[in-house]
A and B are shown apart, each in its own frame.
Chain A
Amino acid sequence: MKHTLSVLVENKPGVLTRVAGLFARRGFNIDSLVVAETENPAVSRMTITVEEQDQPIEQVTKQLHKLINVLKITDLDPADSVERELLIIKVRADARSRSEIMQIVEIFRAKIVDVGTEVILIELTGAREKVSAFMDLVSSFGVVELMRTGRIAMSRGKRPT
């Protein structure tokens, strides 16, 4: 089972190493990791997706709590949170395939951000499943390059994440 941990940390040098090192030591492989400042510049948020393995995720969250720079950890319930990833993909597109690609872009509410004679750059945001579905569809045209960010997630409703 995949977990999305939202971890508030003090925005200080070395904190990322402490957190990442802890996961490695306890035998957890990080699937994706997004780090950025929050509304408070002294605080960063790390959104970490991780697969639950032999030992329960609880041991890692407890160990994370012991890091002095970690302020708060939330194990987000997918049903009760909004998740997004950003994808930028460079697809082969000649005069013939271009319109077909543009149709798919429209259906997915993606965005064309650059057009060249042989390639087209598309930007898409969405939940992981949507991003994957889009990638499947456009890959038949030939993917030159693709980049996706890790997942960010926010709990629904008034309660802060």
Chain B
Amino acid sequence: MKASRVILEALKREGVDTIFGFPGGVLLPLYDALYDFDIRHVLVRHEQGAGHAADGYARASGKVGVCLATSGPGATNLVTAIANAYMDSVPMVAITGQVSRHLIGLDSFQEADVTGITLPIVKHSYLVKQARDLPRIIREAFYIAGTGRPGPVVIDVPVDVTKEDMEFDPAALPAMKLPGYKPTLKGHPKQIREAARVIAAAERPVIYAGGGVITAEASDELRELALYGHIPVTTTLTGKGCFPEDHDLSMGMLGMHGTPYANYAVSRSDLIFAVGVRFDDRVTGKLEAFAPEARFVHVDVDPAEIAKNVAVDVPIVGDAKRVLSALLVELKKLNLSPDRHLPWMEQVEAWKRDHPLVIREPEDGQIMPEAAVGKIWEVTRGEALVCTEVGQHQMWAAQHYLARHPRRFITSGGLGTMGFGFPAAIGAQVACPGALVLDIAGDGSFQMTLQELATAVQHQLPVKVCIINNQYLGMVRQWQELFWNKRYSNTCIECQPDFVKLAEAYGAEGYRATRPEDLEEVLRMAFASDQPAVIDIRVKREANVYPMIPAGGTVGDMMEGD
């Protein structure tokens, strides 16, 4: 069998049903094999789109996402997407074509040292030197990408390797050779007992949960534990949906643009139970002032995350699902009374009542940006699969699109990649064909990857791009307003396409809403359509995201509004 076909057979054996990719010279053998092979190929219009689509597919489905790009510029175009997946711990296998083995290192046409370029942003990478290694490498790549703390794995395949003839038996699984890779999944029982004791003794406990809970499919366990212990929950941006945000115990997101009550609760807590999080600077602000009165219990599958940014009192290395179920058993032995910390719960309620997130009334007959998100939530009843780009709209979406389920709020948290949301939504739509998939976008971000409209139309993926259009690079403008004397250097982007016509030019549907009273009707029409659509929502231009704790600040520095 040709090695090009072996690659596809091995992918199929790993359960791959879809590849996001873009062909090129060195991929000719592989694309030829793909021509009549039983794996769906979604042709993107730029390799970055393939990477983000694989990312969105992975986050929506829990499976490993696969993208494919040619050598040289094809592969370097993937770099942003690989870095994005690395920062948010998304399982991804990126296959890149490489020039023939005898041409490597000679500055050949479309040659780039892809394993070298991606070294700091991959969980692992391979340069395939001989065809017979392919079955083992592909098996290892999927295992590494999808287990422990997930991440991207790059397989760089020289074109001459793919042309070789080789033996392949789909039924014979090659042995993996990974003596240095053994993720710790089971938490240490003694540490878990200690955590239970500390949680039971806490007077002002808070659960701080993140993307690790979603990755570990541990949302049910988290909910059970929070309900049993009667502990309020705040989540990170990437953790949105790991606990239902419309639940009484939910405090929404914490951090720079988090809810006032989540940030107040953390700052007064005597016990932070952190699970699947990494104490990112956008969450903690000034580290020394983060939860100054609290002890920390930290559960993470990656030992390097524990004690990286804060000193931890009870560290537990393990898979969130296993640790949370074991912890619940231990907690139940302690017979917690639900009213053991009534004053604390009353305090949290009071903060929620006194400092709610506000949706501002229309000003000058204009749509307020957060009101647009609120309306999208209302129209979809919170049941859409939402992807976002990066910037103000992302924070409004995080604050006002209350996520009810895991894998239903997909956003670029760590790298903060503008242009992520739309291709990610395409990938998510492939993973969940029946779902209403939205990209809540900014006008700046959408222009970074909007060529994927052709992808959505070609593959009939009815993603709805909801542009919160303020004709600014709004988040940077907000910082310029607040911290740089309103000198709006290069953040005004009034020169932009007519997004309605643009959508139509691509064969998608275009909608526009400019007045608050029109918005609901426009959204309903667009969401009811079975076509990809762009909805240009014109909002009040100079609206800021509040609350906001400035970078490196503390809860005392929180700005709640203009």
Taking Cβ atoms with an 8 Å cutoff, the residues of A that contact B are 9-10, 13-14, 17-18, 21, 25, 58-59, 62-63, 65-71
User: Shortest beta-carbon distance, B306 to chain A, in Å?
Assistant: 8
- A-B CB contact pairs (8 Å), 22 listed: A9-B180, A10-B180, A13-B127, A14-B115, A17-B116, A17-B119, A18-B119, A21-B119, A21-B120, A25-B120, A58-B307, A59-B308, A62-B303, A66-B123, A66-B302, A66-B304, A67-B180, A68-B124, A68-B178, A68-B180, A69-B180, A71-B180
User: Shortest beta-carbon distance, B289 to chain A, in Å?
Assistant: 20
Q: How far is the CA of A71 from the CA of B177 in the complex (A)?
A: 12
- Select from chain B the residue with minimum beta-carbon distance to A63: B304
Q: B181 on the interface (CB 8 Å rule)?
A: yes
Beyond A14-B115, A18-B119, A21-B120, 4 additional pairs, beta carbon < 8 A: A17-B116, A17-B119, A68-B124, A68-B144
Q: List 9 A-B pairs, minimum CB-CB distance, nearest first.
A: A62-B304, A68-B124, A71-B180, A68-B181, A70-B180, A63-B304, A62-B303, A21-B119, A68-B180
User: Shortest beta-carbon distance, A26 to chain B, in Å?
Assistant: 10
A71 touches B179 (CB 8 A): yes
- By a CB distance below 8 angstroms, the chain A residues around B120 are 21, 25
User: Shortest beta-carbon distance, A111 to chain B, in Å?
Assistant: 39
User: Shortest beta-carbon distance, A153 to chain B, in Å?
Assistant: 21
- By a CB distance below 8 angstroms, the chain A residues around B123 are 66, 68
- By a CB distance below 8 angstroms, the chain A residues around B178 are 68
| Residue of B120, B124, B179, B303 with most chain A CB atoms under a 10 A cut-off | B179
User: Shortest beta-carbon distance, B253 to chain A, in Å?
Assistant: 27
- By a CB distance below 8 angstroms, the chain B residues around A18 are 119
User: Shortest beta-carbon distance, A109 to chain B, in Å?
Assistant: 39
- Select from chain A the residue with minimum beta-carbon distance to B116: A17
- By a CB distance below 8 angstroms, the chain A residues around B127 are 13-14
User: Shortest beta-carbon distance, B281 to chain A, in Å?
Assistant: 15
- Give the B interface residue count (CB, 8 A): 17
- By a CB distance below 8 angstroms, the chain B residues around A62 are 303-304
- By a CB distance below 8 angstroms, the chain B residues around A67 are 180
- By a CB distance below 8 angstroms, the chain A residues around B116 are 17
User: Shortest beta-carbon distance, B511 to chain A, in Å?
Assistant: 45
User: Shortest beta-carbon distance, A76 to chain B, in Å?
Assistant: 20
- By a CB distance below 8 angstroms, the chain B residues around A10 are 179-180
User: Shortest beta-carbon distance, B534 to chain A, in Å?
Assistant: 39
Within 8 A of A (CB), among B84-121: 115-116, 119-120
Chain B 15-42 near chain A by CB (<8 Å), digits 1 or 0: 0000000000000000000000000000
Within 8 A of A (CB), among B114-150: 115-116, 119-120, 123-124, 127, 144
- By a CB distance below 8 angstroms, the chain B residues around A63 are 304
- By a CB distance below 8 angstroms, the chain A residues around B144 are 68
Q: How far is the CA of A118 from the CA of B180 in the complex (A)?
A: 52
User: Shortest beta-carbon distance, A138 to chain B, in Å?
Assistant: 42
Q: How far is the CA of A14 from the CA of B144 in the complex (A)?
A: 18
Interchain CB contact (< 8 A) of B304 among A21, A25, A59, A68 = A59
User: Shortest beta-carbon distance, A110 to chain B, in Å?
Assistant: 39
User: Shortest beta-carbon distance, B282 to chain A, in Å?
Assistant: 20
- Select from chain B the residue with minimum beta-carbon distance to A56: B307
User: Shortest beta-carbon distance, A80 to chain B, in Å?
Assistant: 24
Q: How far is the CA of A59 from the CA of B124 in the complex (A)?
A: 19
- Select from chain A the residue with minimum beta-carbon distance to B179: A71
Q: How far is the CA of A71 from the CA of B179 in the complex (A)?
A: 7
- Select from chain A the residue with minimum beta-carbon distance to B144: A68
Q: How far is the CA of A70 from the CA of B304 in the complex (A)?
A: 15
- By a CB distance below 8 angstroms, the chain B residues around A69 are 180
Q: How far is the CA of A68 from the CA of B137 in the complex (A)?
A: 13
